[in-house]
Amino acid sequence: MRKALLILAGLVVVVGAVAATSTASQATATPKMTVTGSVVAGVTAVQNGQDLVFDFRATNSGATTNTNNIFYYSFTNSTYVDIICPLANGQDINPDGAACEPGALRPGKSIRSAIIVQATGPGPIVVKACLGPTGTPECKSLTVSYIG
């Protein structure tokens, strides 16, 4: 403990005891999430109506469990066909929309999710997978050329 000093008009006055704390000890560890991905079969260009499968992996490389996982997708120049959402507990679900909640992800663990879209064009097909929503979500975008 330290004493706080107050200086008034040249007088030094002891105001009371102040606890000295370390800001490092007050910091809360947070999960460090990363998202990686690939286009299945290495497809780089598609025609109208062709289905594409995008495979994404979320990894917790932090020191604490991430309990607020929502894996969600956005996509352009394509329509949603299906999503496969493996859960952290080892089971799989097939949700009705382009998002899933895989559950708590312990440090060092990963989960994969795949989305299937159908190319509609006229521009490149871009699929973006994000893991959030707390703070700034971690995202990964993949692009496939559209050749009509």
Kindly list the distances between the CA atom of residue 54 and the CA atoms of 39, 63, 100, 114, in Å, as whole numbers in the listed order: 5, 28, 15, 6
- CATH number, residue 115: 2.60.40.740
Residue-wise pLDDT tens digits, 91-115: 777 777 788 888 888 999 998 899 9
Provide CB contacts within 8 A for 109, sequence distance 6+.
59, 60, 88
Residue 24 is assigned to a structural domain of this protein: no
pLDDT at res. 29 = 66
Residue 7 is assigned to a structural domain of this protein: no
DSSP secondary structure of 73-134: EEEESEEEEEEEEE-TTS-EE--SSSEE----B-TT-EEEEEEEEEE--SS-EEEEEEEESS
Question: Residue 132's pLDDT band (boundaries 50, 70, 90)?
Answer: confident
Tell me how far apart the alpha carbons of residues 113 and 38 are, in angstroms, rounded to a whole number: 11
Per the structure, the count of domains in the chain is: 1
Instruction: Please state the pTM of the whole predicted model.
Output: 0.75
Residue 60 is assigned to a structural domain of this protein: yes
Tell me how far apart the alpha carbons of residues 137 and 66 are, in angstroms, rounded to a whole number: 12
Question: Residue 30's pLDDT band (boundaries 50, 70, 90)?
Answer: low
The whole domain housing 103 covers 33-146
